[in-house]
Amino acid sequence: MDLNYTEAEIAFRDEVRAFIKAKLPDHLVDQSKLGTSLTKADYEEWHAILNAQGWLAPNWPKEFGGAAWNAVERHIFEDEMTKANAPRVVPFGLSMLGPVLQAFGSKEQQDYYLPRILNGDDWWCQGYSEPGAGSDLASVRTSAVRDGDHYIVNGQKTWTTLGQYANKIFCLVRTSKEGKPQQGISFLLIDMDTPGIEVRPIVLIDGTPEVNEVFFDNVKVPVENLVGEENKGWTYAKYLLTHERTNIAGVGFANAGLQNLKRIARLEQSGGRPLIENPHFAARIARVEMDLMAMSTTNLRVVSQAAAGQAPGAESSMLKIKGTIIRQEINALTRNAVGPYAMPFASEALDEGSNEEPVGPDYAAPATAQYLNNRKLSIFGGSNEIQRGIITKAILEL
């Protein structure tokens, strides 16, 4: 297996670099570097720039307006974007719903929704999890009962990321209680403006309302908003999750975090010398860097297998666990590096335009909030315990 880039891949990488240099706005880079939260307008600005270039949907086929890149091109793009501190692309419409509609949606749904995802007309959120249905997703209870040409939806979703910005939600709903729980689930597209929907913020440990609870009280949804067939939603839901877990290792994010950590460790002092020269601290950075290099190689191996037509299997569970541990360790080391300046918990430091003067250097202000926020990495997208269960069964065959 050759892990080096081909000439064509190097040319592609240079094209991506040139685009970033010309088009990535400085203010978005500054926000990423300082770790401030992006607003809806920031995300929309970046999406529009990528869309104008035809690069907003790297994984979509050309017929739907995507870039149709292979796995290696997507990897290069992701890598360059995170190294340049570009904002992430919000995944719900682009990486999750888009592929489901392309595979299972009706022609009308594809024609209507896919261009709206690219143009930024719709902001989608994901209504999978419920209280009592997280890891055990098949036990969703939110019901959709057919009434003429509508479904009447009742129930509750939870942990809905950025649902406060969304005008649409894709939901798993229970349309039958017969048979196995997986057999009575349908996949429904719901307009967030429909009467009977209430969104309540959940404030996370870092002080941000990044996730929400969404309540449905006799919400009328037209039957044409059903994706595919009634009671077949589990198949579509699982298909979506394979897309949700792409690039789950977060190699690019870890690289960017490591560079930031090293920058801080050069600026901070320990015993009159730069912290990065402290043997104990340098050893901890070296360990996380070695782990990251090993994971990047595994990631490239998986990417190169995918480029050769093989689907990543349980390796993505390995990457999820290791990637999470590495990013959380980088967050911990960053807190260590800023020392006492990590003590004041300045959650407002994450807000763009915050006029609170940081007590220490500006790079120290978000360190604790980021450390706390990234506790989520080992939970969402399938918790690390669940991933370990998958490895036990699929790789170790225990």
Ligand X SMILES: Cc1cc2nc3c(=O)[nH]c(=O)nc-3n(C[C@H](O)[C@H](O)[C@H](O)COP(=O)(O)OP(=O)(O)OC[C@H]3O[C@@H](n4cnc5c(N)ncnc54)[C@H](O)[C@@H]3O)c2cc1C
Binding part of the chain for ligand X, among 121-129, 188-196, 284-292, 338-346 by CB under 6 A, reads: 121-129
Rg, Å, the chain Cα set: 22
Asked if residue 339 binds ligand X (CB under 6 A), the reply is no
Binding part of the chain for ligand X, among 144-152, 268-276, 346-354, 380-388 by CB under 6 A, reads: 380-388
Q: Which residue is nearest to ligand X (CB)?
A: 134
Beta carbon of residue 27, minimum distance to ligand X (angstroms, whole number): 26
Which residues inside 4-43 make contact with ligand X, applying CB under 6 A? none
Decide if 383 contacts 366 (C-beta within 8 A). no
Q: Which of 138, 152, 282, 379 binds ligand X (CB under 6 A)?
A: 379
Q: Which of 241, 262, 389, 391 binds ligand X (CB under 6 A)?
A: 389
Asked if residue 376 binds ligand X (CB under 6 A), the reply is yes
- Which CB, 130 or 268, lies closer to ligand X? 130
In single-letter form, the type of residue at position 289 comes to: E
Q: Which of 31, 109, 160, 186 binds ligand X (CB under 6 A)?
A: 160
Distance CA 355, CA 122 (A): 31
Tell me how crowded residue 282 is: count the other CB atoms within 10 A of its CB.
14
Decide if 171 contacts 142 (C-beta within 8 A). yes
Q: Which of 12, 19, 104, 159 binds ligand X (CB under 6 A)?
A: 159
Asked if residue 211 binds ligand X (CB under 6 A), the reply is yes
Beta carbon of residue 316, minimum distance to ligand X (angstroms, whole number): 15
Binding part of the chain for ligand X, among 50-58, 221-229, 240-248, 382-390 by CB under 6 A, reads: 382-390
Based on the residue annotation, tell me whether 348 is a catalytic residue of this protein: no
Distance CA 180, CA 344 (A): 51
Distance CA 23, CA 36 (A): 20
Give burial (CB, 10 Å; 0-12/13-18/19+) of 132. exposed
Catalytic residue among 78, 244, 315, 329: 244
Give burial (CB, 10 Å; 0-12/13-18/19+) of 4. exposed
Residue (of 191, 201, 189, 134) closest to 163 by Cα position: 201
* Site residues, ligand X (CB under 6 A): 126-129, 134-135, 159-161, 211, 376, 379-380, 382-383, 385-386, 389
